[in-house]
Amino acid sequence: MTIRKPLILAPAGDVDSFLAAVAAKADAIYCGLKIFSARMEASNFSIEELARLTTLAQSRGIAVHVALNSLIKPNEIEKTENILAKLVAYVRPNALIVQDLAVVPIARNLGFKGEIHLSTLANSSFPAGLEAVKQAGFDRVVLPRELNVDEIKTMAEKTPEGLDLEVFVHGALCYGVSGRCYWSSWFGGKSGLRGRCVQPCRRVYSQKNDKQRFFSCLDFSVDVLAKVLKTIPEVTTWKIEGRKKSPHYVFYTVTAYRMLRDHGQDPDKKRTAIAFLDHAMGRPSSHYNLLSQRPQNPLKSDVETGSGLFAGRVKIEKHPFFVTREALLKGDLLRIGYEDGKGHAIQRVTRSVPKRGKLVLKTDRGTRFQKGDPVFIVDRREAGVYAMIRELKTEFEGLEAPVVRPLKEKSLSVKPKNSRKRGGAKAPRSIQMTLTRTLGRGRSEGEKALWLSEGILQKLPNHVVRDSWWWLSPVVWPGDEASHISAVNQALAKGAKRFVLNMPWQRSFFADARHLELWAGPFCNIANHHALESLRVQGFSGAFAAPELGEEGFLSLAATSPIPLGIVVAGNWPLAISRIVSDDILLDTPFESPMREQGWVSRRDDTFWVFPGWRLDLTPKIRDLQRAGYTLFATMEEPVPKGMVLKQRPGLWNWDHNLL
């Protein structure tokens, strides 16, 4: 069997980075618009820019993938339609990358003929779910970075015809599993699911007498292990993370992985490729979980994890300076300190400095450098690379920009429906449930709900199983799939009828859903009526609203929902769910940020849940939610460790302001 070469997919967050990817001969480039992108902190592109760049790339056989991988709020459907209509009319990209189920029907109804790829934010992480992904209209799945090569192979073996896999080979790692991190939203109202993460996981936290960046990861790099991925034909694409990175980073990472793909057996080429990766201005890297027999924990207390290539530390004499570990070129961009530090600053190098040379730092008004602050090289204006970029930019600027006009498309929004009044039926009664991990723990108000596992089912009589709501885990790894399916079958055999699925793809665990209530859980991150309609078509009985919405979002979602709605109104909602934990952090022990925000980490089976030191509490809003049409209200009760005193805060999350 002939195995196709995997495509190398390059990131681009601005015009120069896009052109750097073209210069490096990437096979495809992914980028975002100025809205609805999961990297909103990048410069991103206008329709006019992207139309010309796509023309330039496609003329060289380079595909363009546009990321519309943001969670879409109820009042943003018309804006989504307009953006997609302009992409179809003026840009004509080869593929869309999306996490929100709403985008698929909108794009197809507008005539989009390219591929639609499921973002890693949608968390398709187990083999049985791949068929459900395909049935939902996707052509490709971007796999989670947490998977090892054996798990990737397991996914590949079960990949249905017509669906292919994309894997990350290089770039930044998030502490939380993609689509399972609410930390930025909880601490600051800026959602990672909407591309506005403020990276609270990279801050300094303290625990007992220890103070460090417990949750800040090294970068991920497959590097020489790329040869292992080449043997998996279903993995058609190698993805490089970095839409906020520099053109230098893009050029050298793409060049390196092209060399590793095409000449990985040549020792000289392999050494050159590794040298390119070492000086691409990224963080120090690890292989993470890629080798199951030799996993590498990317949480290292003795390694600087600021973005960029670590170059030295600030020293203070008459003026602040540092002795560089790397040769500096005129035009290099330096970042001093971390964004959460007092001495954080960005400076351009004005003269070349040899390795181990001394560079005096400028002290602008208000800048206070601290002794020991790290210095990172975050961009390099290398003459050869920028000569290629300038040549391509001349060609780009010579292309005629389309005249983008407002497109008057017929709205594709479903007609408003209210599940309380469908067919003149009587409104369903409101149900309150309390979700716990074991019976008898926490509050007992309302109906019982428990996290589904084989262990707890064995302890409970049939009548308790029958009368309870069963919540499926928000994270399922390939090796855990069999136990989850077994637990579902055991629950069904004991008479269970009501399940809350925390990935839409868990629908594949139920061969026959007749006479069952299957609800899409809050971790499905459902936030608009098109996504709800997609769930209805898949056979879901109801859905929980995405937890990050505010008052307007929650209430307007109910006004047009085609299926009954639920909401988590109280309890211990996790900041993040991760597959890793620092060797230096103590589980079930309070930690604290410099802003006195507290939390703790607990192990849940094979994942680690980070909880905030105060509870979610929307119970004062239940009457408003009932009037809007919500009928199912859940409280999540998690064991609070000894010594952890929960702060008394309102716990309204984003209720009083619009989620960014």
Is residue 600 a contact partner of residue 590, using CB atoms and an 8 Å limit? yes
Predicted confidence band of residue 421 (pLDDT cuts 50, 70, 90)? very low
The tokens describing 114, both together, are: 């390219």
Residue 367's pLDDT is 73
Question: What's the average model confidence in pLDDT over 400-412?
Answer: 72
Q: Same structural domain for residues 371 and 393?
A: no
The pLDDT of residue 424 is above 50: no
The pLDDT of residue 1 is above 60: no
CA 601/CA 299 separation, integer angstroms = 15
Predicted confidence band of residue 425 (pLDDT cuts 50, 70, 90)? very low
Q: Among candidates 547, 608, 610, which has minimal Cα distance to 575?
A: 610
Is residue 637 a contact partner of residue 572, using CB atoms and an 8 Å limit? yes
Q: Same structural domain for residues 247 and 392?
A: yes
The pLDDT of residue 343 is above 80: no
Helix (H), strand (E) at residue 388 = helix 383-398
Question: What's the average model confidence in pLDDT over 375-383?
Answer: 92
Question: What's the average model confidence in pLDDT over 360-368?
Answer: 80
Residue 41's pLDDT is 55
Q: Same structural domain for residues 353 and 390?
A: no
Question: What's the mean pLDDT when you consider all of the chain?
Answer: 92
Q: Same structural domain for residues 480 and 394?
A: no
Residue 257's pLDDT is 98
Is residue 570 a contact partner of residue 617, using CB atoms and an 8 Å limit? yes
What's 339's domain CATH number?
2.40.30.10
Q: What is the identity of the amino acid at 521?
A: G
What pLDDT, in 10s, does the model give residues 492-545? 999 999 999 999 999 999 999 889 999 999 999 999 999 999 999 999 999 999
Is residue 260 a contact partner of residue 273, using CB atoms and an 8 Å limit? yes
Residues 6+ apart with CB under 8 A from 509: 128, 472, 484, 485, 488, 501
411: in domain: no
What pLDDT, in 10s, does the model give residues 582-616? 999 999 999 999 888 999 999 999 999 999 999 99
Percent of the chain with pLDDT over 90: 84
266: in domain: yes
409: in domain: no
Give φ, ψ of 19 to 5 degrees. -70, -30
Q: Same structural domain for residues 511 and 603?
A: yes
425: in domain: no
Residue 415's pLDDT is 45
CA 231/CA 217 separation, integer angstroms = 28
Q: Same structural domain for residues 29 and 72?
A: yes
209: in domain: no
Identify the DSSP state of 474: S
Q: Among candidates 244, 201, 191, 241, which has minimal Cα distance to 71?
A: 191
DSSP string, 269-294: HHHHHHHHHHTSS---EE-TTSSTTS
What is the domain extent for residue 60? 7-189+219-281+384-398
The pLDDT of residue 451 is above 90: yes
What pLDDT, in 10s, does the model give residues 63-104? 999 999 899 999 999 999 999 999 999 999 999 999 999 999
330: in domain: yes
Q: Same structural domain for residues 357 and 435?
A: no
Q: How many CB atoms lie within 10 A of CB 642?
A: 8
Q: Among candidates 446, 484, 493, 501, which has minimal Cα distance to 468?
A: 446
Question: What's the average model confidence in pLDDT over 461-481?
Answer: 97
Is residue 625 a contact partner of residue 554, using CB atoms and an 8 Å limit? yes
> Per the structure, how many domains does the chain have?
3
The pLDDT of residue 412 is above 60: no
The tokens describing 198, both together, are: 């403020």
The pLDDT of residue 414 is above 60: no
The pLDDT of residue 111 is above 80: yes
Q: Same structural domain for residues 334 and 392?
A: no
653: in domain: no
The pLDDT of residue 408 is above 80: no
What pLDDT, in 10s, does the model give residues 166-220? 999 999 999 999 999 999 999 888 999 998 899 999 999 999 999 999 999 999 9
The tokens describing 72, both together, are: 């879409």
Segments of 269-404 assigned E as strands: 285-286, 309-313, 315-316, 320-323, 333-336, 345-348, 358-360, 374-379
Q: Same structural domain for residues 448 and 348?
A: no
The tokens describing 324, both together, are: 């560089």
What's 583's domain CATH number?
3.20.20
Q: Among candidates 32, 30, 36, which has minimal Cα distance to 63?
A: 30
Q: Same structural domain for residues 388 and 536?
A: no
Percent of the chain with pLDDT over 70: 94
What pLDDT, in 10s, does the model give residues 287-334? 999 999 999 999 999 999 988 999 999 999 989 999 999 999 999 999
Q: Same structural domain for residues 581 and 508?
A: yes
Q: Same structural domain for residues 35 and 146?
A: yes
CA 495/CA 433 separation, integer angstroms = 19
CA 277/CA 270 separation, integer angstroms = 11
Residues 6+ apart with CB under 8 A from 2: none
What's 156's domain CATH number?
3.20.20.70
Please, how many CA atoms are within 13 Å of residue 224, restricted to the half-sphere of its CB?
Answer: 11
Q: What is the identity of the amino acid at 425?
A: A
Question: What's the average model confidence in pLDDT over 233-239?
Answer: 97
Residue 3's pLDDT is 66
Identify the DSSP state of 232: -
The pLDDT of residue 443 is above 60: no
Is residue 325 a contact partner of residue 356, using CB atoms and an 8 Å limit? yes
558: in domain: yes
CA 30/CA 97 separation, integer angstroms = 9
Q: What is the largest CA-CA distance in the chain?
A: 81
